[in-house]
Amino acid sequence: MQSQKGLSRRDFLKAVAAAGGTLALANILMPVFAQSDAAGDINYWHHFTSDQEFQGLEAVMELFAKKYPNIKLTQENIPNADFMAKFTAAVAANSLPSTTMVAAERFPDMNGMESLVDLTDKINNWELKKNFPDNSWDGITADDKIYGVPAFSFIDWMYYRVDYFQEAGIEKPPTTFEEFQDAAIKLTDASKNRYGFGLRGGGGGQGYVIGMLEAFGSPIVVDGKAAIDKAKAIEAIKFWSELFTVHKVVPPSAPSDSFSGIMEAFKVGQTAMVFHHTGSLTDLSTTLGDKVMTAVLPKGPENTISFLSYQYNGVSKADNLEAGWDWVSFWGEADPGLAFLEKTGYFPASSILANDSRVTGNKLYTAAFDSLKIGRVRQTFVGYSEWSTNVVLPAYQKVLVGDATVEQAVDEMISGLEKAL
């Protein structure tokens, strides 16, 4: 089980001082590339989705090719929904990629398949390790062994349409679930095909459902055992589903809306609020300009839904370990980190990069620093990916489309969790 503690801005940036302050920052950010003699062919599996993410990856790969001209790197995009199935099949067929993206919630399962190379010694001897907050390693560590390097971070927050808020007479973004629901109702005008909120009821929506359970005070797993509080879970699913079934403040497509659905609806003005993370910042701010603003996610009755997590890169085949390590560690360097930031808006994992003026000088990132103060690391466990994707999400979708009651859905989630564990 991972730590649930938050991370303050001071903690996140304290490595800057350890690196020697402003002078060290200036030296680290120098765009100088010393070519390496490392050689070989490696491939990289990832599940990037948006155009901005692909542009960011391309920028990182171009910089990598300059520094490592003798390493031939091939990227392979695996759809997010299919990633674990394909990775599991690759384990069975002994056909793993050289390197792979590792989502924190998938790490327990990937590590449980003994599919990742232990990088502890390399990381502990890596001069840039000091630039990363201590808790950034939690999501990629098991039994005191570290299996990957943080590439960038996810800070959950809210995007909202400033112009729509002004039209509705709403002075500030909601800070509680009650305020959020009220705002969504005021912002909805179905006759204009305008809705208060973009609900992710399709692929990827399971994380929000589980977040709701915790926001209403229900634990998920305690001491390795299923611990969902049924009464609190019913409250949570009732609230989250009634946005669609009762209040009608989300688009009719909500039960099937995945990432692309909620993002497109927000960009074209169909929705006034959407929950996502910092990775959508560049896309939305480029499209909407000063019409979009960011805010800390509203707090639930008992807990926050502001999660902080990291995306990692690991080595999954040791036949060319040195080249694989060169690639995954390269993401921690300044130039690729800033290139990826500029293309995507993803908040840096490195505290050195988080202190760059392109972050600190951008008012849209204020909510990210505020979220860091209260953000929690999402709980993960072996079986989490399977349970969340194939039990939690379908059960919730049944409520949305009228095929199950809230209580039936919660019972399905509880029994599925017990089987998963």
DSSP class of residue 375 equals -
Q: Give the three-state DSSP class for 133.
A: coil
User: Quick one: DSSP state of residue 392?
Assistant: I
- Asked whether the predicted pLDDT for residue 15 surpasses 70, the reply is no
Q: CA-to-CA distance for 114 and 175, rounded, in angstroms?
A: 42
* Residue pair 86/101 in contact by the 8 Å Cβ criterion: no
CATH architecture of the domain with residue range 9-154+308-374: 3-Layer(aba) Sandwich (3.40)
CA angle 331, 333, 335 (to 5 degrees): 100
Q: Answer whether residue 17 shows pLDDT above 60.
A: no
pLDDT at position 14, please? 38
Report the alpha-carbon distance of residue 73 to residue 69 in Å, rounded: 10
**pLDDT for residue 3 is more than 50:** no
Q: For residue 331, which of 116, 107, 101 has the smallest C-alpha distance?
A: 101
Global pTM reads 0.75
Residue 137 tokens, joined: 């390693």
Mean pLDDT for the stretch of residues 273-294? 93
Dihedral sign for Cα 241, 418, 148, 76, please: negative
Whether the pLDDT of residue 6 is over 50: the answer is: no
Q: Which residue would you say has higher pLDDT here, 105 or 180?
A: 180
Check pLDDT > 50 for residue 418: yes
386: which residues sit within 8 A by CB, 6+ positions away?
Answer: 84, 109, 420
Q: What is the pLDDT of residue 35?
A: 62
Q: Which fold, 156-307+379-420?
A: D-Maltodextrin-Binding Protein; domain 2 (3.40.190)
DSSP secondary structure letter of residue 174: -
Q: How does residue 360 score in pLDDT terms, banded at 50, 70 and 90?
A: confident
Map out the domains of the chain as residue ranges: 9-154+308-374, 156-307+379-420
Phi, psi of 293 (to 5 degrees): -140, 160
In percent, the amount of the chain with pLDDT more than 90 equals 72
341 vs 164: CA distance, rounded Å = 28
DSSP state of 132: S
Task: List pLDDT tens digits, range 209-263.
Answer: 999 999 999 999 999 999 999 999 999 999 999 999 999 999 999 999 999 999 9
pLDDT digits (tens, 9 = 90+) for 29-39: 433 445 667 89
Average pLDDT, the chain: 89
Mean pLDDT of 152-158: 91
Residue pair 299/158 in contact (Cβ under 8 Å)? The answer is: no
Cβ partners under 8 Å of residue 81, min gap 6: 203, 389
Tens-digit pLDDT profile for residues 102-129 = 999 899 999 999 999 999 999 999 999 9
**pLDDT, position 330:** 97
Strands 221-222 and 225-226: antiparallel
DSSP structure string for 184-224:
HHHH-BGGGTBBS-B---STTTHHHHHHHHHHTT--SEETT
pLDDT tier at 352 (50, 70, 90 boundaries)?
confident
User: What is each CA distance from 67 to 232, 324, 326, in whole angstroms?
Assistant: 53, 14, 10
| Cβ–Cβ < 8 Å for 217, 230 | no
pLDDT of residue 170: 98
Which of 14-28, 76-90, 365-379 has the highest mean predicted lDDT (pLDDT)? 76-90
Of the chain, the end-to-end C-alpha distance in Å amounts to 13
Same fold, 9-154+308-374 and 156-307+379-420: yes
Q: Which residues are within 8 A (CB) of 75 and not within 5 positions of it... i.e. 6 or more apart? A: 43, 44, 46, 57, 61
Rounded Cα–Cα distance for residues 306 and 271 (Å): 21
Residue 34 is predicted with a pLDDT of 52
Res 12: pLDDT: 35
- Which pLDDT score is estimated for 31? 39
Alpha-helical regions (H) of 221-304? 230-245, 259-267, 281-288
